[in-house]
Amino acid sequence: MLPPACAGTRRAVRIPMRLRLALLVVPSLASAATARPITVGASYGITQSKVDAAADPNTMMTAFGRIGIGRHVEAGLELQDISTPDQSTVIRTFGALLAVDLAGNKHLMPMLIAGIGVDHAATSYGGSTDAHHYEGGLALEYRADGGIVVGGDVRIGGRSIDSSQMVYPLQGVAYSAPASSQLSDGEYRSARLYVGVRF
């Protein structure tokens, strides 16, 4: 049994040791979080195929997530819901995205983006189309100190149709084709604004 004076000395030594350990661990965790940031958010935008340039653009809503895989590189996933102006077709896309920071600015960040993905369209009259796409573009993102992210991007892409199932009405049934197609083969363009949280 140690005298009270010795026991007090042992307690006095333990506290600084724990503080020293905390001072070593906390900066390491902070640097790891900075090296591999995670961003999640949602966006709203428009998209239009080149062959449908005469029609109104489709609107799109996107949920996305990105994670840092390098000092200036992030990889992400996007889930997108696209609606045609006449609401006759719903298009859903799932894609993988790569974003590269183009500057060292802490808050305002231009980025180069590239992505690939798969698309599926379903019409209200029973038709469906499957396709895949690739795209690239530029983004400008503002990263606030509190973790809020606000940005926008423009992209140009290409789409290839994999399969298409058309449904025709029965004889004598009135039918009019939608003004914009389900998914069009060839070039398309898109633009969106987004908001997210970075941590």
Q: Select from 114, 96, 193, 98 the least CA-distant residue to 157.
A: 114
Same domain (yes/no): 120, 191: yes
Same domain (yes/no): 129, 163: yes
Q: How far apart are CA 108 and CA 111, in angstroms?
A: 10
Alpha carbon 34 to chain centroid, angstroms:
19
Same domain (yes/no): 120, 137: yes
- The predicted-structure confidence for 159-180, as pLDDT tens digits, reads as follows 999 998 876 555 555 544 443 4
Same domain (yes/no): 133, 68: yes
Same domain (yes/no): 40, 30: no
Tokens linked to 166 = 């058309």
Q: How far apart are CA 94 and CA 116, in angstroms?
A: 9
Q: How far is CA 135 from CA 14, 73, 111, 158, 193, in A?
A: 57, 17, 14, 6, 17
What is the number of domains present in the chain?
Answer: 2
Same domain (yes/no): 107, 28: no
- The predicted-structure confidence for 118-168, as pLDDT tens digits, reads as follows 999 998 777 889 999 999 999 999 999 999 999 999 999 999 999 988 765
- Per-residue pLDDT, 164: 87
Same domain (yes/no): 45, 115: yes
Quickly list DSSP for 5-20: HHHHHHHHHHHHHHHH
Same domain (yes/no): 31, 62: no
Same domain (yes/no): 54, 24: no
Question: Taking the C-alpha atoms of 189, 193, 195 and 199 in order, what is their torsion angle to the nearest 10 degrees?
Answer: 50
- Per-residue pLDDT, 168: 58
Same domain (yes/no): 116, 131: yes
Range of the domain at 78: 36-198
- Per-residue pLDDT, 75: 98
Same domain (yes/no): 94, 31: no
Prediction pTM value: 0.75
Same domain (yes/no): 84, 101: yes
pLDDT over 90, % of the chain: 59
- Per-residue pLDDT, 84: 87
